[in-house]
Structure 1
Amino acid sequence: MIKQISIDYLKNALDIFNDVKRNMLENNIDQWDEIYPDFKIIENDIINHHGYGYFDNEQLIGYIAFNEIFNEEYNAIDWKFHDDKPLIIHRLAVKSKFQGIGIAKKLMQFVETKAKNDGYVAIRLDAFSGNPKSLEFYQRLGYSSAGQVYFRKGMFYCFEKSI
């Protein structure tokens, strides 16, 4: 089940991110750390109703955040699908022991359906260039590369999809 999460699940969401950060480092992916995403970012997601969770038997094992907020670096991208208010996906994470069984795909499909029902034209996101599984994942879901931006950790590819 996927649902918007309440502040009661903040610790569980942080546990997911700590697990994923550990797993990334074990796989030589230096994407997330103690600075991003941190407690305050996840707390703000939840307080502002942007955080959603994937639950398996009442256990939160997946997380995604989305809204209309984007970094100013996005303004330099030549987006193919023009939309004054695109939906932006920010943080997708699945506990490492549950990865590879389709949970991330279900979370993305949930966002796409919600975006379509809410009248959005396009979904945008960025993915770390040093995370090949992530890049392949978004391409498999039909997201096309729109350009690249640079953040603190390096180069990120911007992806978009018309819905």
Structure 2
Amino acid sequence: MQIMNATEEDKDELLALYHAMIGGPCEWSETYPDENTIAFDLKNEDLFVMKNDAGEIIATISIDHDDAVESLTCWHEDQAPSGELSRLCVRKDMQGQGIAKQMMNYAGDVLKNRGMKGIHILVREGHVVALSTYAKIGFRTVGECDLFDKHFICMEKKF
């Protein structure tokens, strides 16, 4: 398995992966994440995929840029600038194998190479698996917020 930047050719497969998660703890829908989200991430070279030996996408993660998230007061100033990770997704049949951790570490390395001092992420309240996974790899809960008509737990990690 290999992690790399996503390409235009990955769009349909990424959208199918996102849609396969509808109804899960992330509360994704037909309208989020969508083709525009993928296009934005691709344009900024902020979308990464893990592919298996057959070339199938089994996981994805994005570096996000959202002013509403950046302006939250829970983030520690000594970690500025920090990058935001978003839309971590592992194909259902591949979950529970440490792939989420690999994707988080890879994206964290990208942020570190871009000069960031830390990472932050919003996790849907009640998404027990994600909260546990992030805590195991060094993220700590620093607050809660309501954004995008949803309630989130705010987590961050210092490099």
TM-score between both structures, scaled by the size of structure 2: 0.89
Once residues 119 and 54 of structure 1 are traced to their aligned partners in structure 2, the CA distance between those partners, rounded to angstroms, is 23
Aligned pair in 2 of structure 1 residues 72, 152: CA closer, same or farther (>3 Å)?
A: closer
Q: Does the Cα contact within 8 Å between 1:6 and 1:47 map onto a contact in 2? A: no
Structure 2: unaligned runs, 5 residues or longer: none
3-state DSSP class of the match of 2:71?
A: helix
Please list, as runs of the form range in 1=range in 2, the aligned pairs for 1:1-163 lying within 5 A after superposition.
Answer: 1-22=2-23, 24=24, 29=25, 31-57=27-53, 58-67=55-64, 69-163=65-159
Matching residue's letter, 1:66: I
3-state DSSP class of the match of 2:115?
A: coil
What's the RMSD between the two structures over aligned residues?
Answer: 1.7
The structure 1 segments of at least 4 consecutive aligned residues displaced by more than 3 Å after TM superposition are none
Which piece of structure 1 moves more, 116-125 or 98-107?
116-125
Across the two proteins, how many residue pairs are aligned to each other? 157
Which piece of structure 1 moves more, 97-106 or 112-121?
112-121
Structure 1: unaligned runs, 5 residues or longer: none
TM-score between both structures, scaled by the size of structure 1: 0.87
Q: Does the Cα contact within 8 Å between 1:66 and 1:88 map onto a contact in 2? A: yes
Q: Does the Cα contact within 8 Å between 2:80 and 2:116 map onto a contact in 1? A: no
3-state DSSP class of the match of 2:116?
A: coil
Q: Which structure would you say has the larger RCO, counting Cα contacts within 8 Å and 6 or more residues apart?
A: 1
